[in-house]
Amino acid sequence: MRAPHFFLAAVLLGFAVTARAVDPVAESIDIHLAAHRDGRAAHSFDPSGYTGDLSALPVGVFDSGIGGLTVLEAILTIDAFHNDTLKPGPDGLPDFENERFLYLGDQANMPYGNYAKAGKTDYLRELILKDAIFLLGNRYHSEGVVHHDKPPVKALVIACNTATAYGLEDLKAAVKRWDLPVIVVGVVEAGARGLLEADSPGAIGVMATVGTCDSGVYPRTIQGTLGLAGRGVATITQQGSPDLAAVIEGDPSRKQTVQEQVAIDVRQLVENHRASQPAGNAKPLSTIVLGCTHFPLVGREIDAAFASLREDPVLAPYIAETRHYVDPAEWTARQLFRELAAAKLRRRGAPGAGEKDRLFLSIADPTLSGKRLNPDGSLTDAYKYGRETGSFVEDTLVVPMTRAALPAAGKKLVSEKLPAVWERIE
Ligand code: DGL
Protein backbone atom coordinates (compact mmCIF):
# COMPACT_ATOMS: atom_id res chain seq x y z
CA MET A 1 0.00 0.00 0.00
CA ARG A 2 2.93 2.36 0.42
CA ALA A 3 3.52 3.10 -3.24
CA PRO A 4 -0.05 4.27 -4.00
CA HIS A 5 0.09 6.38 -0.84
CA PHE A 6 3.27 8.04 -2.07
CA PHE A 7 1.85 8.56 -5.54
CA LEU A 8 -1.24 10.26 -4.18
CA ALA A 9 0.76 12.41 -1.76
CA ALA A 10 3.14 13.45 -4.49
CA VAL A 11 0.40 14.34 -6.94
CA LEU A 12 -1.61 16.25 -4.32
CA LEU A 13 1.46 18.23 -3.35
CA GLY A 14 2.29 18.96 -6.96
CA PHE A 15 5.66 17.24 -6.82
CA ALA A 16 6.84 16.40 -10.31
CA VAL A 17 6.55 12.66 -10.69
CA THR A 18 7.46 11.06 -13.98
CA ALA A 19 7.81 7.53 -12.64
CA ARG A 20 7.09 5.86 -9.34
CA ALA A 21 9.79 4.77 -6.95
CA VAL A 22 9.81 1.01 -6.68
CA ASP A 23 12.11 0.30 -3.77
CA PRO A 24 11.67 1.26 -0.11
CA VAL A 25 14.74 3.54 0.09
CA ALA A 26 13.67 5.62 -2.90
CA GLU A 27 10.03 5.49 -1.86
CA SER A 28 10.52 6.89 1.64
CA ILE A 29 12.79 9.66 0.29
CA ASP A 30 10.20 10.57 -2.32
CA ILE A 31 7.44 10.71 0.29
CA HIS A 32 9.61 12.96 2.46
CA LEU A 33 10.44 15.26 -0.46
CA ALA A 34 6.82 15.46 -1.55
CA ALA A 35 5.86 16.55 1.95
CA HIS A 36 8.63 19.19 2.17
CA ARG A 37 8.84 20.75 -1.22
CA ASP A 38 9.69 24.21 0.13
CA GLY A 39 13.14 22.81 0.99
CA ARG A 40 13.03 24.09 4.60
CA ALA A 41 13.16 20.66 6.27
CA ALA A 42 16.27 18.53 6.68
CA HIS A 43 16.97 16.31 3.65
CA SER A 44 14.70 18.23 1.29
CA PHE A 45 15.01 20.70 -1.57
CA ASP A 46 12.73 23.06 -3.44
CA PRO A 47 12.24 21.72 -6.98
CA SER A 48 10.76 25.00 -8.23
CA GLY A 49 14.30 26.41 -8.51
CA TYR A 50 14.96 24.06 -11.40
CA THR A 51 13.38 26.01 -14.24
CA GLY A 52 14.83 28.22 -16.94
CA ASP A 53 18.52 28.53 -17.74
CA LEU A 54 20.53 26.67 -15.10
CA SER A 55 23.96 27.37 -16.58
CA ALA A 56 24.88 29.96 -13.93
CA LEU A 57 24.36 27.49 -11.07
CA PRO A 58 27.37 25.86 -9.42
CA VAL A 59 28.47 22.26 -9.92
CA GLY A 60 27.99 20.00 -6.88
CA VAL A 61 30.64 17.46 -5.92
CA PHE A 62 30.28 14.99 -3.05
CA ASP A 63 32.23 12.29 -1.31
CA SER A 64 32.13 10.37 1.94
CA GLY A 65 34.74 12.73 3.36
CA ILE A 66 37.72 14.78 2.36
CA GLY A 67 39.09 12.16 -0.07
CA GLY A 68 36.85 13.52 -2.83
CA LEU A 69 38.77 16.77 -2.61
CA THR A 70 41.28 14.99 -4.88
CA VAL A 71 38.53 14.93 -7.50
CA LEU A 72 37.70 18.59 -6.87
CA GLU A 73 41.40 19.46 -7.22
CA ALA A 74 41.50 17.65 -10.59
CA ILE A 75 38.39 19.51 -11.74
CA LEU A 76 39.74 22.88 -10.61
CA THR A 77 43.11 22.45 -12.31
CA ILE A 78 42.47 20.40 -15.45
CA ASP A 79 43.25 21.91 -18.84
CA ALA A 80 42.34 19.19 -21.33
CA PHE A 81 40.07 21.16 -23.68
CA HIS A 82 39.95 24.43 -25.58
CA ASN A 83 37.40 26.45 -23.70
CA ASP A 84 36.12 28.30 -26.76
CA THR A 85 36.01 25.54 -29.40
CA LEU A 86 35.51 22.64 -26.90
CA LYS A 87 38.13 20.65 -28.86
CA PRO A 88 40.43 18.31 -26.94
CA GLY A 89 43.86 19.71 -26.05
CA PRO A 90 45.15 22.28 -23.58
CA ASP A 91 44.65 26.00 -24.23
CA GLY A 92 46.45 27.39 -21.19
CA LEU A 93 43.19 28.05 -19.34
CA PRO A 94 41.58 25.87 -16.66
CA ASP A 95 38.66 24.06 -18.30
CA PHE A 96 36.26 25.13 -15.57
CA GLU A 97 37.55 28.68 -15.15
CA ASN A 98 34.07 30.22 -15.15
CA GLU A 99 32.37 27.57 -13.05
CA ARG A 100 31.65 27.67 -9.35
CA PHE A 101 31.63 24.56 -7.14
CA LEU A 102 29.89 23.29 -4.04
CA TYR A 103 31.48 20.37 -2.22
CA LEU A 104 30.09 18.08 0.46
CA GLY A 105 32.26 15.68 2.42
CA ASP A 106 30.06 13.37 4.52
CA GLN A 107 32.85 12.95 7.04
CA ALA A 108 30.56 12.09 9.97
CA ASN A 109 29.19 9.00 8.22
CA MET A 110 32.37 7.72 6.61
CA PRO A 111 33.91 5.30 5.77
CA TYR A 112 31.31 4.42 3.16
CA GLY A 113 33.51 1.48 2.17
CA ASN A 114 32.54 -0.53 5.28
CA TYR A 115 28.69 -0.27 5.24
CA ALA A 116 28.19 -3.20 2.86
CA LYS A 117 30.19 -5.57 5.07
CA ALA A 118 28.12 -4.40 8.04
CA GLY A 119 24.96 -5.43 6.14
CA LYS A 120 23.92 -1.80 5.72
CA THR A 121 23.87 -1.34 1.97
CA ASP A 122 20.41 0.25 1.97
CA TYR A 123 21.45 2.68 4.68
CA LEU A 124 24.44 3.64 2.53
CA ARG A 125 22.18 4.11 -0.51
CA GLU A 126 20.01 6.44 1.55
CA LEU A 127 23.04 8.42 2.74
CA ILE A 128 24.13 8.89 -0.87
CA LEU A 129 20.71 10.20 -1.92
CA LYS A 130 20.74 12.54 1.09
CA ASP A 131 24.16 13.87 0.02
CA ALA A 132 22.72 14.72 -3.39
CA ILE A 133 19.63 16.28 -1.81
CA PHE A 134 21.89 18.49 0.30
CA LEU A 135 23.57 19.79 -2.86
CA LEU A 136 20.22 20.30 -4.62
CA GLY A 137 18.85 22.21 -1.63
CA ASN A 138 19.63 25.48 0.13
CA ARG A 139 20.03 24.33 3.72
CA TYR A 140 23.04 23.99 6.03
CA HIS A 141 24.04 24.59 9.65
CA SER A 142 26.47 27.17 10.96
CA GLU A 143 27.17 28.10 14.57
CA GLY A 144 24.04 26.42 15.84
CA VAL A 145 21.72 28.07 13.31
CA VAL A 146 20.07 26.62 10.19
CA HIS A 147 20.75 28.73 7.08
CA HIS A 148 18.93 28.64 3.74
CA ASP A 149 21.20 30.65 1.45
CA LYS A 150 23.07 27.90 -0.37
CA PRO A 151 22.43 27.85 -4.12
CA PRO A 152 21.22 24.64 -5.80
CA VAL A 153 23.47 22.87 -8.32
CA LYS A 154 23.22 22.05 -12.03
CA ALA A 155 25.38 18.91 -11.87
CA LEU A 156 26.09 16.22 -9.30
CA VAL A 157 29.54 14.67 -9.35
CA ILE A 158 29.86 11.56 -7.19
CA ALA A 159 33.52 11.89 -6.31
CA CYS A 160 33.46 8.74 -4.17
CA ASN A 161 34.08 5.33 -5.74
CA THR A 162 32.03 3.50 -3.10
CA ALA A 163 29.15 5.96 -3.43
CA THR A 164 29.27 5.55 -7.20
CA ALA A 165 29.19 1.77 -6.80
CA TYR A 166 26.13 1.82 -4.54
CA GLY A 167 24.40 5.05 -5.55
CA LEU A 168 24.98 6.08 -9.16
CA GLU A 169 22.02 4.20 -10.60
CA ASP A 170 19.77 5.28 -7.70
CA LEU A 171 20.74 8.88 -8.22
CA LYS A 172 20.25 8.81 -11.97
CA ALA A 173 16.82 7.25 -11.44
CA ALA A 174 15.94 9.80 -8.74
CA VAL A 175 16.91 12.78 -10.87
CA LYS A 176 14.65 11.37 -13.58
CA ARG A 177 11.75 10.79 -11.16
CA TRP A 178 12.17 14.27 -9.72
CA ASP A 179 12.21 15.66 -13.27
CA LEU A 180 15.44 17.62 -12.76
CA PRO A 181 17.59 18.72 -15.70
CA VAL A 182 20.68 17.95 -13.62
CA ILE A 183 23.75 16.07 -14.86
CA VAL A 184 25.00 13.11 -12.82
CA VAL A 185 28.61 11.96 -13.21
CA GLY A 186 30.20 9.09 -11.28
CA VAL A 187 33.88 8.57 -10.77
CA VAL A 188 33.83 4.86 -11.71
CA GLU A 189 32.44 5.18 -15.25
CA ALA A 190 34.86 8.01 -15.90
CA GLY A 191 37.79 5.98 -14.55
CA ALA A 192 36.87 3.02 -16.74
CA ARG A 193 36.96 5.32 -19.75
CA GLY A 194 40.46 6.36 -18.70
CA LEU A 195 41.49 2.77 -19.32
CA LEU A 196 40.72 3.15 -23.02
CA GLU A 197 43.75 5.44 -23.26
CA ALA A 198 46.01 2.93 -21.55
CA ASP A 199 47.46 0.80 -24.29
CA SER A 200 48.75 -1.75 -21.88
CA PRO A 201 48.69 -5.44 -22.79
CA GLY A 202 48.88 -6.87 -19.27
CA ALA A 203 46.32 -7.39 -16.55
CA ILE A 204 44.42 -4.66 -14.71
CA GLY A 205 44.63 -4.33 -10.94
CA VAL A 206 41.93 -2.45 -9.06
CA MET A 207 42.71 -1.04 -5.62
CA ALA A 208 39.60 0.21 -3.83
CA THR A 209 37.58 -0.09 -0.62
CA VAL A 210 36.09 -3.43 0.43
CA GLY A 211 32.63 -2.11 -0.46
CA THR A 212 33.64 -1.01 -3.95
CA CYS A 213 35.31 -4.37 -4.64
CA ASP A 214 32.39 -6.38 -3.22
CA SER A 215 29.98 -4.50 -5.48
CA GLY A 216 31.94 -5.63 -8.56
CA VAL A 217 31.40 -2.20 -10.08
CA TYR A 218 34.90 -1.80 -11.51
CA PRO A 219 35.19 -5.19 -13.28
CA ARG A 220 31.64 -4.76 -14.62
CA THR A 221 32.16 -1.19 -15.81
CA ILE A 222 35.64 -1.82 -17.20
CA GLN A 223 34.54 -4.87 -19.20
CA GLY A 224 31.49 -2.98 -20.47
CA THR A 225 33.54 0.07 -21.47
CA LEU A 226 36.27 -1.97 -23.18
CA GLY A 227 33.63 -4.14 -24.87
CA LEU A 228 31.82 -1.11 -26.30
CA ALA A 229 35.16 0.10 -27.66
CA GLY A 230 35.68 -3.25 -29.41
CA ARG A 231 38.44 -4.43 -27.08
CA GLY A 232 38.73 -7.98 -25.82
CA VAL A 233 37.84 -9.17 -22.32
CA ALA A 234 40.36 -7.84 -19.80
CA THR A 235 42.02 -9.77 -16.98
CA ILE A 236 41.12 -7.92 -13.79
CA THR A 237 42.15 -8.57 -10.20
CA GLN A 238 40.85 -6.53 -7.26
CA GLN A 239 42.02 -5.80 -3.76
CA GLY A 240 39.63 -4.19 -1.29
CA SER A 241 41.33 -2.47 1.61
CA PRO A 242 39.38 -1.91 4.81
CA ASP A 243 42.13 0.34 6.20
CA LEU A 244 44.15 2.23 3.61
CA ALA A 245 41.80 5.23 3.20
CA ALA A 246 41.64 5.66 6.98
CA VAL A 247 45.42 5.34 7.35
CA ILE A 248 45.98 7.95 4.62
CA GLU A 249 43.58 10.25 6.46
CA GLY A 250 45.54 9.79 9.67
CA ASP A 251 42.71 8.08 11.57
CA PRO A 252 44.12 7.71 15.11
CA SER A 253 42.52 4.26 15.47
CA ARG A 254 44.87 2.87 12.78
CA LYS A 255 48.36 2.12 13.94
CA GLN A 256 50.14 1.37 10.63
CA THR A 257 52.11 3.98 8.69
CA VAL A 258 51.05 4.69 5.10
CA GLN A 259 54.06 2.71 3.81
CA GLU A 260 53.19 -0.29 5.98
CA GLN A 261 49.53 -0.32 4.94
CA VAL A 262 50.37 0.22 1.26
CA ALA A 263 52.83 -2.70 1.43
CA ILE A 264 50.10 -4.94 2.92
CA ASP A 265 47.49 -4.01 0.29
CA VAL A 266 49.80 -4.14 -2.72
CA ARG A 267 51.11 -7.54 -1.64
CA GLN A 268 47.54 -8.77 -1.21
CA LEU A 269 46.61 -7.55 -4.70
CA VAL A 270 49.61 -9.35 -6.19
CA GLU A 271 48.80 -12.51 -4.22
CA ASN A 272 45.15 -12.36 -5.39
CA HIS A 273 46.40 -11.98 -8.94
CA ARG A 274 48.87 -14.82 -8.61
CA ALA A 275 46.12 -17.11 -7.30
CA SER A 276 43.95 -16.29 -10.33
CA GLN A 277 46.62 -16.82 -12.99
CA PRO A 278 47.74 -20.03 -14.72
CA ALA A 279 51.19 -21.00 -13.44
CA GLY A 280 53.90 -20.30 -16.00
CA ASN A 281 51.62 -18.21 -18.22
CA ALA A 282 50.66 -15.25 -16.06
CA LYS A 283 49.65 -11.86 -17.40
CA PRO A 284 51.53 -9.35 -15.29
CA LEU A 285 49.67 -6.49 -13.64
CA SER A 286 50.48 -3.53 -15.88
CA THR A 287 47.62 -1.08 -15.26
CA ILE A 288 46.50 -0.17 -11.78
CA VAL A 289 43.22 1.62 -11.20
CA LEU A 290 43.40 3.77 -8.08
CA GLY A 291 39.72 3.14 -7.34
CA CYS A 292 39.47 5.01 -4.06
CA THR A 293 39.57 8.77 -3.69
CA HIS A 294 42.49 8.64 -1.28
CA PHE A 295 44.81 6.34 -3.18
CA PRO A 296 46.15 8.82 -5.79
CA LEU A 297 47.56 10.73 -2.81
CA VAL A 298 49.95 7.84 -2.16
CA GLY A 299 50.62 6.85 -5.78
CA ARG A 300 54.38 7.03 -5.29
CA GLU A 301 54.26 4.73 -2.26
CA ILE A 302 52.05 2.28 -4.17
CA ASP A 303 54.44 2.10 -7.11
CA ALA A 304 57.41 1.71 -4.77
CA ALA A 305 55.64 -1.26 -3.14
CA PHE A 306 55.13 -2.94 -6.55
CA ALA A 307 58.79 -2.31 -7.43
CA SER A 308 59.94 -3.84 -4.16
CA LEU A 309 57.72 -6.95 -4.58
CA ARG A 310 59.05 -7.38 -8.12
CA GLU A 311 62.47 -8.08 -6.67
CA ASP A 312 61.05 -11.34 -5.35
CA PRO A 313 61.46 -13.89 -8.21
CA VAL A 314 58.31 -15.70 -7.09
CA LEU A 315 56.18 -12.58 -7.52
CA ALA A 316 58.03 -10.92 -10.42
CA PRO A 317 56.05 -12.72 -13.20
CA TYR A 318 52.84 -11.18 -11.86
CA ILE A 319 54.02 -7.55 -11.94
CA ALA A 320 54.90 -5.64 -15.12
CA GLU A 321 58.25 -3.90 -15.26
CA THR A 322 56.54 -0.53 -15.52
CA ARG A 323 53.06 0.09 -14.25
CA HIS A 324 50.52 2.55 -15.65
CA TYR A 325 48.18 4.19 -13.14
CA VAL A 326 44.63 5.34 -13.80
CA ASP A 327 43.40 8.11 -11.53
CA PRO A 328 39.62 8.31 -12.05
CA ALA A 329 39.64 11.91 -10.77
CA GLU A 330 41.20 13.26 -13.95
CA TRP A 331 38.79 11.30 -16.14
CA THR A 332 35.85 12.48 -14.07
CA ALA A 333 36.88 16.07 -14.75
CA ARG A 334 36.97 15.34 -18.51
CA GLN A 335 33.59 13.67 -18.44
CA LEU A 336 32.07 16.55 -16.50
CA PHE A 337 33.38 19.00 -19.11
CA ARG A 338 31.93 16.96 -21.98
CA GLU A 339 28.55 16.51 -20.29
CA LEU A 340 28.17 20.17 -19.36
CA ALA A 341 29.06 21.11 -22.93
CA ALA A 342 26.64 18.59 -24.44
CA ALA A 343 23.82 19.82 -22.20
CA LYS A 344 24.72 23.45 -22.96
CA LEU A 345 25.14 24.01 -19.24
CA ARG A 346 28.65 25.53 -19.28
CA ARG A 347 28.60 28.85 -17.56
CA ARG A 348 29.07 31.84 -19.83
CA GLY A 349 31.17 34.63 -18.34
CA ALA A 350 32.98 34.84 -15.04
CA PRO A 351 30.97 34.70 -11.82
CA GLY A 352 30.40 37.88 -9.85
CA ALA A 353 32.80 38.90 -7.07
CA GLY A 354 30.55 37.54 -4.30
CA GLU A 355 30.10 34.12 -5.90
CA LYS A 356 32.61 31.81 -4.31
CA ASP A 357 33.14 28.08 -4.25
CA ARG A 358 31.65 26.72 -1.03
CA LEU A 359 32.79 23.61 0.77
CA PHE A 360 30.85 21.74 3.46
CA LEU A 361 31.52 18.88 5.85
CA SER A 362 29.18 16.79 7.98
CA ILE A 363 29.73 16.48 11.73
CA ALA A 364 27.95 14.34 14.29
CA ASP A 365 25.21 16.30 16.03
CA PRO A 366 27.00 17.29 19.25
CA THR A 367 23.73 17.05 21.20
CA LEU A 368 23.39 13.30 20.56
CA SER A 369 23.43 11.22 23.73
CA GLY A 370 26.90 10.31 25.02
CA LYS A 371 26.44 6.65 24.17
CA ARG A 372 26.29 7.49 20.46
CA LEU A 373 29.42 9.61 20.43
CA ASN A 374 33.10 8.81 20.85
CA PRO A 375 35.14 11.08 23.15
CA ASP A 376 36.29 13.05 20.06
CA GLY A 377 32.64 13.76 19.11
CA SER A 378 32.45 11.31 16.20
CA LEU A 379 29.70 8.67 15.88
CA THR A 380 30.49 5.35 17.54
CA ASP A 381 30.64 2.41 15.15
CA ALA A 382 27.81 0.70 17.07
CA TYR A 383 25.54 3.67 16.42
CA LYS A 384 26.83 4.37 12.90
CA TYR A 385 26.26 0.85 11.62
CA GLY A 386 23.16 0.22 13.75
CA ARG A 387 20.96 2.81 12.03
CA GLU A 388 17.96 1.96 9.87
CA THR A 389 16.64 3.64 6.72
CA GLY A 390 13.58 5.88 6.65
CA SER A 391 14.53 8.47 9.29
CA PHE A 392 14.76 12.12 8.31
CA VAL A 393 15.82 13.39 11.71
CA GLU A 394 19.33 14.85 11.48
CA ASP A 395 21.90 12.99 13.55
CA THR A 396 24.67 14.57 11.53
CA LEU A 397 24.81 18.25 10.57
CA VAL A 398 26.30 19.76 7.44
CA VAL A 399 28.44 22.79 8.29
CA PRO A 400 30.86 24.94 6.28
CA MET A 401 34.25 23.30 5.88
CA THR A 402 36.88 25.57 7.39
CA ARG A 403 40.60 25.01 7.79
CA ALA A 404 40.05 24.97 11.54
CA ALA A 405 37.28 22.32 11.29
CA LEU A 406 39.43 19.88 9.31
CA PRO A 407 40.93 17.03 11.31
CA ALA A 408 44.70 17.61 11.76
CA ALA A 409 45.84 14.86 9.40
CA GLY A 410 43.29 15.92 6.79
CA LYS A 411 44.47 19.49 7.06
CA LYS A 412 48.06 18.43 6.40
CA LEU A 413 46.99 16.32 3.43
CA VAL A 414 44.90 19.03 1.80
CA SER A 415 47.36 21.87 2.44
CA GLU A 416 50.32 19.90 1.09
CA LYS A 417 48.76 17.95 -1.77
CA LEU A 418 45.68 19.84 -2.94
CA PRO A 419 46.70 23.51 -3.25
CA ALA A 420 43.80 24.67 -5.46
CA VAL A 421 41.32 23.26 -2.95
CA TRP A 422 43.26 24.56 0.06
CA GLU A 423 43.09 28.15 -1.15
CA ARG A 424 39.30 27.85 -1.37
CA ILE A 425 38.83 26.70 2.24
CA GLU A 426 38.33 29.55 4.65
N1 DGL B 1 35.72 7.95 -0.70
C2 DGL B 1 35.76 6.50 -0.58
C3 DGL B 1 35.95 5.87 -1.95
O4 DGL B 1 36.42 6.51 -2.91
C5 DGL B 1 36.82 6.04 0.37
C6 DGL B 1 36.56 6.35 1.82
C7 DGL B 1 35.33 5.66 2.38
O8 DGL B 1 35.30 4.41 2.50
O9 DGL B 1 34.39 6.36 2.75
O10 DGL B 1 35.63 4.73 -2.13
Residues 171 and 231 in one domain: no
Residues 57 and 147 in one domain: yes
Instruction: Answer yes or no: is pLDDT of 198 > 80.
Output: no
The count of C-alpha atoms lying within 13 angstroms of the C-alpha of 147, restricted to the half-sphere facing its C-beta, is 12
Instruction: Answer yes or no: is pLDDT of 5 > 60.
Output: no
Cross-strand pairs, 207: 239, 290
Question: What range does the domain containing 162 cover?
Answer: 42-189+332-424
Residues 326 and 349 in one domain: no
198-219 mean pLDDT: 93
Quick one: pLDDT at residue 2? 40
Q: Atom 1 in ligand 1: which residue has the minimum CA distance?
A: 160
Question: How many whole angstroms separate alpha carbon 358 and alpha carbon 147?
Answer: 14
Query: With bands split at pLDDT 50, 70 and 90, how would you rate the model's confidence at 21?
Result: low
Query: pLDDT per residue over 51-77, tens digit each?
Result: 999 999 999 999 999 999 999 999 999
CA 59 from centroid of its chain's CA atoms: 14
Q: How far is the CA of 70 from the centre of ligand 1 (A)?
A: 12
Query: pLDDT per residue over 266-286, tens digit each?
Result: 999 999 999 999 988 999 999
Residues 129 and 251 in one domain: no
Q: Work out the mean pLDDT of the chain and round it to a whole number.
A: 93
* Burial of 304: CB neighbours in 10 Å, binned 0-12, 13-18, 19+: middle
For the ranges 16-30, 136-150, 299-313, 392-406, the lowest mean pLDDT is seen at 16-30
Quick one: pLDDT at residue 197? 83
Q: How far is the CA of 392 from the centre of ligand 1 (A)?
A: 23
Q: Which residues, including other chains, have CB under 8 Å from residue 108's CB and lie 6 or more apart?
A: 362, 363, 364, 378, 379, 396, 397
Query: With bands split at pLDDT 50, 70 and 90, how would you rate the model's confidence at 371?
Result: very high
233-257 mean pLDDT: 92
Cα angle, residue 112 at apex, residues 26 and 306 outer, rounded to 5°: 140
Q: Which residues, including other chains, have CB under 8 Å from residue 382's CB and lie 6 or more apart?
A: none
Specify the length of the chain in residues: 426
Can you give the CATH number for the domain in which 269 is found? 3.40.50.1860
Q: Are 34 and 53 in contact (CB under 8 A)?
A: no
Q: Which atom of ligand 1 is nearest to the CA of 212?
A: 10
Domain boundary among 280, 295, 330: 330
Rg (CA), the chain: 22
Residues 162 and 223 in one domain: no
Domain boundary among 330, 357, 376: 330
Query: pLDDT per residue over 77-131, tens digit each?
Result: 999 999 999 999 999 999 999 999 999 999 999 999 999 999 999 999 999 999 9
Residues 77 and 180 in one domain: yes
Q: Atom 7 in ligand 1: which residue has the minimum CA distance?
A: 111
